[in-house]
Amino acid sequence: MRTDISKINEATPYEELTEGLITFAGGTARDFHTGEWRTDTPVFDKEACKQCLLCAPACPDGCIPVKDSKREDFDYDHCKGCGICAKVCPFNAIKMVEGSEPK
Amino acid sequence: MNSENIEIRWHGRGGQGAKTAALLLADVCFKTGAYVQGFPEYGPERMGAPITAFNRISKNEIRVHSNIYTPDIVMVVDESLIHSVDVTSGLKDDGAVIVNTPESVEEVRKLLNGYKGRIYTIDARKISTEALGKNFPNSPMLAAAVAVSKVMERDQFIKEMRASYEHKFAKKPEVIEGNMKALTMTFDALEEVL
Amino acid sequence: MSVKDRMSGNEAVAYAIKQVNPDVMPAFPITPSTEIPQLVSSYIANNEMDTEFIPVESEHSSMSATIGAEAAGARSLTATSSCGLALMWEELLLAASNRMPCVLALVNRTLSGPININCDHSDAMGARDTGWIQIFAESNQEAYDNFIQAYPIAEDPRVHLPVMICQDGFITSHAVMNIELNEDNEVKEFVGEYKPEEFLLNNNKPIAIGPYAISSYVMEARKAQEEAMENSKEVIIEVAKRYKERFGRGFELFEEYRLDDADYIMVIMGSAAGTAKQAVDDLREKGMKVGVLKIRVFRPFPAEELAKALSNAKGIAIMERTESYNGHGGPLCAELRAALYENKVFTNVVCYTYGLGGRDFTVDHVYEVFEEVKDVTENGKKVTQHRYINLRTNKA
C-alpha cells in the first residue's frame, strides 16, 4: 500500500488515493513551496544584524536558518511574509518590502 | 414440575447474595452436565433494595433470555419481602416456595396470598450463625434450592460444593468447613419434612 | 478440542481477550461492561496475559488512546456501554476514517434518558453510521466466538476497519450459561500475529495518519472507506467459514432459523432472537409455519441478501430495540423496508418496538406478534406501525 505520494494530486481517482489518506513520507512540508503565497517580503540587512537570534525562533514557518550560532538569509521558498521577524528585531535589521521578491 | 426443565426465581435484597446464590446454583448444576442459566434482574442497584435472580436448569439447550414468570421453585432469601413483593406470583401449583424464616410453615402460608402448593421454611440465619458464626444466608438457601428442586443428588452436591469452596476460599480456608456444615445442616433439616 | 465451561457474557469476552492477548487496552468503566476491563486487569495482574492496560479518565480518552495505540502499530481494543459509547462519538468516526483495525467490545445498554442501566440497542444504533463493522451476539457463546473473529476481519487488507462486537447488557453480559471455549493456542493461531505494513512507530518509514483533507479529497476518501465496508461482507463470511472449519461453530451475515417454508418471519437481533426461536418451535408444533431471521451483522447491512431470504414470506415482523424519534420507526425497520422495496419484495411488513431500557421480551410476546402479522396478512387487519410491545397504555 506504500505509494509515491508526489504522484497524488487533485486529479487522482479515489481508487488510487492512499488508505485513510495516509501520507507515506516524512518532512513533506519541505516540498511544498509556501513562499509562493507571499505578498510582502522580509529583507535581511546583514550589516545591521547583531546576531542576537531573536528572529529565528519567532518565525512560525522556520524560515530563518541558523548555522554555527549565526543566522543566514531567509528561506524564501517557504517564507510567507508574515512580518513577525521584522517586528521582533531590535536593530531594524529586517525590513518588509512590498511584493513577493526581496528587493 | 417438569424435571427436564426447572425454573427457579430468587427474591432477595441487594447485598444479601441472592444473585450470588443463583450463580452458584448454575455453577454446581453445570457440573452435572446440565444446561444452566443464572442471571440477576437489577432494580435501583442499592444495598437493601429488592432484587430478583433467576435460574433455568435443563436437559436441553436454553435459548430463552426472558425473566421467569411461572417458576417451579421460588426462593425467598429475606422474609420481610413477603410483605412487599408477591413472591408466589405465577408459581406453579405443583411447585414449591422456600422461605428463610424462623416461623412455621403455617404462619408463612397465611402471608402467601393463598398459595396452595408446597411451602418450606428454613431458618438460614440460625443455621448460618451456628455453622459459620455469621449471618450469610447464601449457603443454606443454596442447599435448600437443591434439596427441594432435586436438580442433583445430595452426595454429588456436597462433593461439588466442597471443591467449589476450596477454590473460592483458597485464601480463607477457615470458612470452608463452616459453609460445608451450613449445607449439611440445611439438607438434614429439609429431609425431615420433604 | 473445545472445553465445556459456564460463564457470563462479560466473562466470555474477557476470556477471549485473554486468549487473543492484544497489545494495548485503554478503558474506562461503565455498567454493564465494567467487568470486561476489570477481568482483563486481573488476568494481567496474574501474568496470564501481557496486554498493556491504560486506565484513562473518560471514554473519549479510551477511544483516543485505542486509535493512538493502533496507529502506532499495536493491536488495540477497548470496551464500553451506553453513554460511554456516546462520549466516543467523535473518535469512532476517526477510528474508521483513519482505517484503524481496532476492536470495541460493546455491551449494549440504553442511552439516557430517562437514565437507566439496562439493555436496548440505542447505543450501538446511534453509532451505526460511524463506519464501524457491527456484529451482534445472541448469547455468551456468540459474543465469545464473534470476538475471536473480530481482528481477522478488521485487519484483512481488503477491510482495515474497526469492529464493534455487541452483546446485550445484563441479559447476556451478566447471565451465566454454558459455553464451549477454544484452546488458547488454537485461538492464537487463528487470530495470528499482528504485523501492520505501516505504523507510526516505524522510524525507517515515516508516515502521517489523519491529515487534513481539502474538499477535493474528502469525497474520494469517503468512497474508498465505503467500499472497504462493502468488501468486509465477503471477509466476514470467509472468516466465519474458517472459524467453523477450526472450531465447529458456524456463522453467516444472518441466521435463518426454520425459514425454508415459513409464511411468517420475525427479523430480530441480539439475545431476543433466542427467545424468538423457542417461540417458533412452540408455534411450529401447533402447525404455524413461522421462522426467525436473526441479524448478526448490522454493518455492513446485508440488504440484498436479506431481501432474498425474506422473498417468500407472506408477512414479516421487524423487531426494533431502539427508538429513533422520527415518526417512522427505527433504523432496522427503515433499512430493511428499503432493502425489500429495492429488491422488489412487496409483502406485509409490520414494525415493532420492544425491550427498551431492559423491558422484558418473552415467548408470549413473540406469539402475539406472529398472531398479529398473520391477521394482517390473512384478514387485512389494520395495524399501527412501530407499536410498542408490552407497553402500558389507555389505547385499546
Mean of the pLDDT values across residues A74-97?
Answer: 97
C-alpha distances (whole Å) from C337 to each of A86, C118, C195, C332, C346 are 66, 28, 41, 8, 9
Rounded to the nearest 10 degrees, the angle between the axes of helix B154-168 and helix B138-149 is 150
What pLDDT is attached to residue A6?
82
Rounded to the nearest 10 degrees, the angle between the axes of helix B138-149 and helix B124-132 is 120
Q: Which residue has the higher pLDDT, A4 or C360?
A: C360
Q: Are B142 and B16 in contact (CB under 8 A)?
A: no
* Strand C254-257 versus strand C290-295 pairing type: antiparallel
Q: Do C172 and B65 touch (CB under 8 A)?
A: yes
What pLDDT is attached to residue B45?
67
List the single residue in B26, B27, B64 with the smallest CB-CB distance to C275: B64
Q: Which residue has the higher pLDDT, C330 or B2?
A: C330
C-alpha distances (whole Å) from B176 to each of B157, B172, C105 are 15, 8, 37
Least confident of B35-49, C222-236, C297-311: B35-49
Share of chain A above pLDDT 90, in %: 83
Mean of the pLDDT values across residues B8-34?
Answer: 93
pLDDT band at C263 (very low <50, low <70, confident <90, very high): very high
In three-state secondary structure terms, C104 is strand
Please, what is the average pLDDT of chain B?
93
Domain boundaries, chain A: 1-32, 33-103
Q: Check: CATH 3.30.43.10 for C2-247?
A: no
What pLDDT is attached to residue B149?
95
Please, what is the average pLDDT of chain C?
97
**Cβ contact A–C (≥3 pairs, < 8 Å):** yes
In angstroms, the CA A3 to CA A10 distance is: 16
Which H, E and C letters describe chain A, residue by residue?
CCCCHHHCCCCCCHHHCCHHHCECCCCHHHHCCHHHHCCEEEEECCCCCCCCCCHHHHCCCCCCCEECCEECCCCCCCCCCCCHHHHHCCCCCEEEEECCCCC
Please, what is the average pLDDT of chain A?
94
Q: Do C275 and B36 touch (CB under 8 A)?
A: no
Q: Do C363 and B35 touch (CB under 8 A)?
A: no
Torsion sign over Cα C58, C60, C64, C66:
positive
What pLDDT is attached to residue B168?
85
C254-388 shares the fold of C2-247: yes
Residues 6+ apart with CB under 8 A from B133: B178
Least confident of B13-22, C101-110, C182-191, C387-396: B13-22
Is pLDDT at C192 greater than 90 in this prediction? yes
Domain boundaries, chain C: 2-247, 254-388
Alpha carbon dihedral A72, A73, A77, A79, in 10-degree steps, equals 100
In angstroms, the CA B144 to CA B160 distance is: 15
Q: Is A47 an 8 Å CB contact of chain C? A: no
State the smallest CA–CA distance between residue C210 and chain A in angstroms.
Answer: 7
Q: Do A14 and C225 touch (CB under 8 A)?
A: no
Residues 6+ apart with CB under 8 A from B20: B138
Identify the helix (H) or strand (E) that includes residue C98.
none
State the smallest CA–CA distance between residue C235 and chain B in angstroms.
Answer: 28
* Strand B5-13 versus strand B50-58 pairing type: antiparallel
Q: Is C176 an 8 Å CB contact of chain B? A: yes
Q: Do A2 and C198 touch (CB under 8 A)?
A: yes
In angstroms, the CA C13 to CA C18 distance is: 9
Residue C245 has phi, psi (to 5 degrees) of -60, -40
Q: What is the CATH number of domain A33-103?
A: 3.30.70.20
Q: Do C117 and B69 touch (CB under 8 A)?
A: no
In sequence order, what are the beta bridge partners of C85? none
In three-state secondary structure terms, C37 is helix
Q: Which residue has the higher pLDDT, C382 or B2?
A: C382
Overall residue count recorded for chain C in this entry? 396
What pLDDT is attached to residue A2?
78
Mutate to test the interface with A, among C97, C159, C207, C225 (most CBs of A within 10 A): C207
Q: Check: CATH 3.40.50.1000 for C254-388?
A: no
List the single residue in B38, B40, B63 with the smallest CB-CB distance to C275: B63
C361 closest CA partner among C390, C340, C381: C390
Chains B, C: CB contacts under 8 A, how many?
64
pLDDT band at B47 (very low <50, low <70, confident <90, very high): confident
pLDDT band at C236 (very low <50, low <70, confident <90, very high): very high
C321 closest CA partner among C272, C275, C255: C272
**Cβ contact A–B (≥3 pairs, < 8 Å):** no
Domains of chain B with CATH codes: 5-193 (3.40.920.10)
Q: All 3 cell numbers of residue A10?
A: 487533485
Residues of chain A contacting C216 with CB distance shorter than 8 Å: 10
Q: Do C217 and A21 touch (CB under 8 A)?
A: yes
Residues of chain B contacting C176 with CB distance shorter than 8 Å: 23, 26-27, 36-39
